[in-house]
C-alpha cells in the first residue's frame, strides 16, 4: 500500500498527556490491565478514535501500520489515519478480506509482506482496526515480526471491545481447530470507541452480546441480572447501557487476565461456552456461524451440562436459554454425528491427554473447569439439538 501523507514533527506533549477523564456524557472511562510483564489502558468512550489525544503516551515509532479489512477501512480508516499521522514519519495500511474464514496463514502472510516491503523495523507500531479476526491476526503478526513489535487494539465490533481485544491472546485458525496457532502478546493500548458500534450490522451486534452475557454466569451474578434487566436497552444500542456493559466486561476481563495471563488456571473460565462453540464453528466451516452465535449456543449447552452434573438447578438452564434467545442468538445446536462433536472438542486447548474439559457453572457467578463423561456431554447436546428450542442463525 502507498504511504499516507508524511507526518508532522511529533508533539512531545502527546507523550506525557494523561488518560482521558471520566465523562458521563460520553461514557468515557479507563480500565487498567496489569500483568506480570505489562501494564496498559483500555480507553472506553464515544468519539475517541478521531482524537489525537487518544493516542498519547504510545511508544515512539517512525512507522505506523494500520491493519484493517475491506469492510471497516472505508468507514473508520481515514479518521484513524488522520489522528495518528502526527505521531509517525509515515502511516501505511494493509487490508485483509473480511470474515472468520480468512483468519489464516494467507492473511498473516499479507501482513508480513507489507511490513517487509515497506521497510518496517522494530520501532514500527501496528494498529488493529476491526473486529476479533483483525485483532487476532494483527496481534500474532506483531508477536512474531522481528520477534516482536508493539501493537494497539482498535476494536470496532462489540465482541472485540468486550473480549478479544483485551488480554493478549493472538492467533490464526487451523482447519482442525480454532486459534490453535498463536502467541500471548499484550497490546500497548486498547481503544474502544463506542461510536463505531453504530455501523455494526444487527447480526454482528448480537454476536457481541454473547461475550457480554458470559461474564455474568462465570464471575458476577449481579451483572447477569443487570444484563437481563437491560437487554432491551442494549439491543437498542442506548449509549449509557452500552458504556456500562463494555466497561464492566472489560473490568472482569482485566481482573482475570491480571491474575492468570497465560491461562494456566483461572483465565480458562473466560471460555464458558467456547468448547462447544469452537466445535460448531469448525464443523460447519469458519464463517457460517459467527463466533458469538456459536458461543451463545455453547453457553446453553454448557449450562445444560452443568445441570446434568448436579452443579446448578435445572432452572438455571432455562434462564440462560431464554437470555441467549432474547439476544437474538441461536440456542439449538446444529446436527452432526456424536463422533464428530467429540473429535473436535478433543482438539480444544483446555483438553488434557485427550480428556475434554469444560467451563461449567457451579453457582451463578462462579465457574469451574472440569471433565465430564462423554455420554453426559452428548446428552446435553441432544437436549438442545436442531429440533429443539431456538433455531439457526439468521441468513
Domain that holds residue 241: 214-383
157: nearest Cα among 106, 213, 196 = 196
Strand order in the sheet with 125-130: 29-34, 39-45, 189-193, 151-155, 125-130, 63-69, 90-96
In a domain, 388, yes or no: no
Q: In whole angstroms, how far apart are CA 291 and each of 155, 231, 287, 374?
A: 15, 20, 8, 24
Residues 110 and 228 in one domain: no
In a domain, 138, yes or no: yes
How many beta carbons lie within 10 A of that of residue 296, not counting itself? 32
Q: pLDDT tens, 95-120?
A: 999 999 999 999 999 999 999 999 99
Q: What is the pLDDT of residue 26?
A: 63
Residues 246 and 369 in one domain: yes
Whether the CA torsion 360, 361, 367, 370 is positive or negative: it is: negative
Residues 58 and 135 in one domain: yes
Residues 37 and 177 in one domain: yes
DSSP per position, 301-328:
HHHHHHHHTTSS-HHHHHHHHHHHHHTT
Q: What is the pLDDT of residue 349?
A: 77
In a domain, 204, yes or no: no
Name the domain boundary from 199, 228, 252.
Answer: 199
Residues 161 and 16 in one domain: yes
- For the record, the C-alpha cell of 10 comes out as 511529533
Residues 69 and 163 in one domain: yes
How many beta carbons lie within 10 A of that of residue 154, not counting itself? 33
100: nearest Cα among 281, 332, 327 = 281
Residues 277 and 141 in one domain: no
Question: From CA 22, how far away is CA 26, in angstroms rounded?
Answer: 9
- Residue pair 306/379 in contact (Cβ under 8 Å)? The answer is no
Q: What angle do CA 188, 191, 196 make, to 5 degrees?
A: 150
Cell 487494539, residue located: 153
Identify the H or E element spanning 149: none
pTM for the whole structure: 0.89
Residues 163 and 218 in one domain: no
381: nearest Cα among 306, 273, 302 = 302
What does DSSP assign to residue 272? T
In a domain, 395, yes or no: no
Residues 140 and 224 in one domain: no
What does DSSP assign to residue 264? S
- For the record, the C-alpha cell of 173 comes out as 485458525
Active-site residues, by number, are 147, 169, 211, 253, 263, 267, 271, 274, 278, 291
Q: What is the pLDDT of residue 354?
A: 79
In a domain, 70, yes or no: yes
| Maximum C-alpha span of the chain | 65
Q: What is the pLDDT of residue 25?
A: 54
- For the record, the C-alpha cell of 109 comes out as 502472510
Q: pLDDT tens, 303-353?
A: 999 999 999 999 999 999 999 999 999 999 999 999 999 999 998 878 887
Number of domains in the chain: 2
- Residue pair 135/211 in contact (Cβ under 8 Å)? The answer is no
Question: From CA 208, how far away is CA 160, in angstroms rounded?
Answer: 7
Residues 183 and 295 in one domain: no
Residues 46 and 70 in one domain: yes
**How would you write 174-241 as a 3-class SS string?**
ECCEEEEEEEECCCCEEEEEHHHHHHCCHHHHHHHHHHHHHHHHHHCHHHHHHHHHHHHHHHCCCHHH
Residue 248: partners with Cβ closer than 8 Å, 6 or more residues away? 215, 220, 223, 226
In a domain, 392, yes or no: no
Question: From CA 110, how far away is CA 86, in angstroms rounded?
Answer: 26
Residues 191 and 255 in one domain: no
In a domain, 2, yes or no: no
Name the domain boundary from 152, 171, 199.
Answer: 199
Q: Which CATH number covers residue 247?
A: 1.20.1090.10
Each residue's pLDDT expressed in tens, for the chain with a length of 395 residues: 444 443 333 332 222 233 333 455 566 999 999 999 999 999 999 999 998 889 999 999 999 999 999 999 999 999 999 999 999 999 999 999 999 999 999 999 999 999 999 999 999 999 999 999 999 999 999 999 999 999 999 999 999 999 999 999 999 999 888 899 999 999 999 999 999 999 999 999 999 999 999 999 999 999 999 999 999 999 999 999 999 999 999 999 999 999 999 988 999 999 999 999 999 999 999 889 999 999 999 999 999 999 999 999 999 999 999 999 999 999 999 999 999 999 999 988 788 877 899 999 999 999 999 999 999 999 999 999 975 444 456 54
**Long-range CB contacts (< 8 A, 24+ apart) of 76-84?**
76/49, 76/129, 76/154, 76/156, 76/196, 77/129, 79/49, 79/50, 80/49, 80/50, 80/127, 80/129, 80/154, 81/4, 82/50, 83/49, 83/50, 83/51, 83/52, 83/54, 83/55, 84/52, 84/55, 84/127
Name the domain boundary from 165, 199, 233.
Answer: 199
In a domain, 6, yes or no: no
| Cα 281 off chain centre by | 15
Q: Which CATH number covers residue 119?
A: 3.40.50.1970
Amino acid at each position: 500500500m502507498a504511504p499516507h501523507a508524511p507526518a508532522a514533527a511529533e508533539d512531545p506533549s502527546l507523550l506525557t498527556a494523561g488518560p482521558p477523564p471520566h465523562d458521563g456524557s460520553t461514557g468515557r472511562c479507563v480500565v487498567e490491565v496489569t500483568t506480570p510483564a505489562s501494564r496498559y489502558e483500555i480507553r472506553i468512550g464515544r468519539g475517541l478514535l478521531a482524537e489525537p489525544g487518544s493516542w498519547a503516551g504510545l511508544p515512539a515509532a517512525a512507522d505506523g501500520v494500520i491493519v484493517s479489512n475491506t469492510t471497516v477501512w472505508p468507514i473508520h480508516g481515514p479518521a484513524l489515519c488522520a489522528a495518528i499521522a502526527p505521531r509517525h514519519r509515515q502511516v501505511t495500511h494493509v487490508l485483509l478480506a473480511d470474515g472468520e474464514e480468512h483468519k489464516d496463514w494467507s492473511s498473516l502472510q499479507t501482513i508480513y509482506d507489507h511490513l517487509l516491503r515497506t521497510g518496517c523495523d522494530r520501532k514500527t507500531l501496528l494498529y488493529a482496526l476491526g473486529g476479533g479476526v483483525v485483532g487476532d491476526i494483527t496481534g500474532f503478526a506483531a508477536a512474531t515480526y522481528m520477534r516482536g513489535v508493539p501493537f494497539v487494539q482498535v476494536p470496532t465490533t462489540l465482541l472485540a471491545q468486550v473480549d478479544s481485544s483485551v488480554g493478549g491472546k493472538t492467533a490464526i485458525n487451523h482447519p482442525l481447530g480454532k486459534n490453535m496457532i498463536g502467541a500471548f502478546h499484550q497490546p500497548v493500548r486498547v481503544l474502544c470507541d463506542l461510536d463505531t458500534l453504530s455501523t455494526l450490522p444487527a447480526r454482528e451486534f448480537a454476536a457481541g452480546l454473547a461475550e457480554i452475557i458470559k461474564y455474568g454466569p462465570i464471575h458476577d451474578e449481579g451483572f447477569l441480572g443487570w444484563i437481563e434487566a437491560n437487554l432491551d436497552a442494549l439491543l437498542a444500542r442506548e449509549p449509557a447501557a452500552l458504556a456500562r456493559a463494555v466497561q464492566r466486561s472489560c473490568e472482569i476481563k482485566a481482573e482475570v487476565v491480571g491474575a492468570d495471563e497465560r491461562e494456566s488456571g483461572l483465565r480458562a473460565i473466560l471460555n464458558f461456552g467456547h468448547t462447544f462453540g469452537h466445535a460448531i464453528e469448525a464443523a460447519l466451516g469458519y464463517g457460517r456461524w459467527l463466533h458469538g452465535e456459536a458461543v451463545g449456543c455453547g453457553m446453553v449447552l454448557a449450562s445444560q451440562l452443568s445441570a446434568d452434573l448436579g452443579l446448578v438447578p435445572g432452572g438455571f438452564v432455562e434462564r440462560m436459554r431464554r437470555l441467549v434467545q432474547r439476544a437474538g442468538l441461536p440456542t439449538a445446536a446444529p446436527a452432526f454425528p456424536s463422533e464428530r462433536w467429540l473429535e473436535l472438542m478433543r482438539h480444544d486447548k483446555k483438553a488434557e491427554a485427550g480428556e475434554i474439559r469444560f467451563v461449567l457453572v457451579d453457582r451463578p457467578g462462579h465457574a469451574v473447569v472440569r471433565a465430564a463423561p462423554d455420554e453426559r456431554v452428548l446428552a446435553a447436546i441432544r437436549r438442545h439439538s436442531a429440533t429443539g428450542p431456538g433455531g439457526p442463525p439468521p441468513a
